[in-house]
Structure 1
Amino acid sequence: MKHLDELSTYKRFPNIRYEVYLHGAHTDRVDKGWISYKHVHHTTFEMNLVFNGCQTARIGSEEYNQCPGDLLIVPPMHMHEYQVIHSDTMQYFVVHVQVNDPDFLQLMDEQNSWFYPKEELLNKQITPLLDEFYYLLQQSTSKLAAFSKFFEMMNILEKFFRDAQEEFIPDPNATLAYEIARSIDKMIHPVDFQENTSNWLELISKEKGISRRHCHRIFQQTYNMSPREYLMVLRQQEAMKMLTNTTDSIEQIAHKIGYENIQSFIRQFAKWTGKTPGAFRKKYKETFKDYGRALKYLT
Structure 2
Amino acid sequence: MSTSFISPEWGLSVSETVCPDVQTSVNLLGIHMREVSRDWECPSHAHHQYEINYVLQGTQQMKIGDYSYVQQAGDLVILPPGVNHMSRSISEGTLVYVCIHFEMNDRVFLSLLERTNQLIFRKNSLAARQIEPCIMKLVQAAEHGGQHMITRRIRLQAASFELFSVLWEILLNEAAQASPSTYAHMELAHQIAARLQAIVSRNLTEEERPESHYGIDDIAAELGISPSHCNRIFHQVFAISPRSYLSNLVLHKSKLLLADPHMSIQDIATTLGYRDIAHFSRQFKRWSGISPSHYRKTQLHMSQPLEAGV
Corresponding residue of 1:172: 184
Residue 74 (structure 1) aligned to one of 76, 99, 104? 104
Give the percent of matched residue pairs that are identical in Structure 1 and Structure 2: 25
CA drift at 1:281: 0.8
Corresponding residue of 2:212: 198
1:232 aligns with 2:237: no
Cα distance in 2 between the residues matched to 1:281 and 1:161: 41
Cα distance in 2 between the residues matched to 1:244 and 1:154: 31
Residue 138 (structure 1) aligned to one of 148, 151, 167? 151
Cα distance in 2 between the residues matched to 1:42 and 1:106: 21
Is the 8 Å Cα contact of residues 219 and 225 (structure 1) preserved in structure 2? yes
SS in 1 for 2:27: strand
Corresponding residue of 1:110: 115
Letter in 1 for 2:219: I
Which structure's CA Rg is the greater one? 2
Instruction: Provide the aligned length of Structure 1 versus Structure 2.
Output: 200
1:1-299 map, 5 Å: 45-50=24-29, 71-77=101-107, 107-108=112-113, 110-111=115-116, 129-130=137-138, 132-133=140-141, 138=151, 151=162, 154-155=165-166, 167=178, 169=180, 171-189=183-201, 191-194=202-205, 195-196=208-209, 197-198=211-212, 200-245=215-260, 247-288=262-303
TM-score by length of 2: 0.49
Per the alignment, do residues 109 and 269 of structure 1 end up closer, same or farther by CA in structure 2, a change over 3 Å counting?
Answer: farther
Cα distance in 2 between the residues matched to 1:204 and 1:157: 26
CA offsets, 1:246-298, max 9 Å, x none? Answer: 622212222333422321210122233332111211121112389xxxxxxxx
Per the alignment, do residues 206 and 48 of structure 1 end up closer, same or farther by CA in structure 2, a change over 3 Å counting?
Answer: same
SS in 2 for 1:248: coil
Per the alignment, do residues 261 and 132 of structure 1 end up closer, same or farther by CA in structure 2, a change over 3 Å counting?
Answer: farther
CA drift at 1:223: 1.6
Per the alignment, do residues 232 and 105 of structure 1 end up closer, same or farther by CA in structure 2, a change over 3 Å counting?
Answer: same
Cα distance in 2 between the residues matched to 1:132 and 1:280: 41
Per the alignment, do residues 151 and 173 of structure 1 end up closer, same or farther by CA in structure 2, a change over 3 Å counting?
Answer: same
Letter in 2 for 1:110: R
Is the 8 Å Cα contact of residues 47 and 71 (structure 1) preserved in structure 2? no
Cα distance in 2 between the residues matched to 1:209 and 1:222: 19
Cα distance in 1 between the residues matched to 2:176 and 2:196: 31
CA drift at 1:238: 0.9
SS in 2 for 1:287: helix
Is the 8 Å Cα contact of residues 104 and 110 (structure 2) preserved in structure 1? no
Per the alignment, do residues 131 and 47 of structure 1 end up closer, same or farther by CA in structure 2, a change over 3 Å counting?
Answer: farther
Letter in 2 for 1:138: T
Is the 8 Å Cα contact of residues 259 and 296 (structure 2) preserved in structure 1? yes
Cα distance in 1 between the residues matched to 2:235 and 2:26: 25
CA drift at 1:210: 1.9
Per the alignment, do residues 109 and 237 of structure 1 end up closer, same or farther by CA in structure 2, a change over 3 Å counting?
Answer: farther
CA offsets, 1:216-258, max 9 Å, x none? Answer: 2221222221111111111111111111146222122223334
SS in 1 for 2:28: strand
Give structure 2 stretches of 5+ with no counterpart.
1-16, 32-47, 50-80, 83-98, 118-127, 306-310
Per the alignment, do residues 48 and 289 of structure 1 end up closer, same or farther by CA in structure 2, a change over 3 Å counting?
Answer: farther
CA offsets, 1:40-61, max 9 Å, x none? Answer: x987643212479xxxx99xxx
Cα distance in 2 between the residues matched to 1:288 and 1:174: 40
Is the 8 Å Cα contact of residues 269 and 275 (structure 1) preserved in structure 2? yes
CA drift at 1:182: 0.8
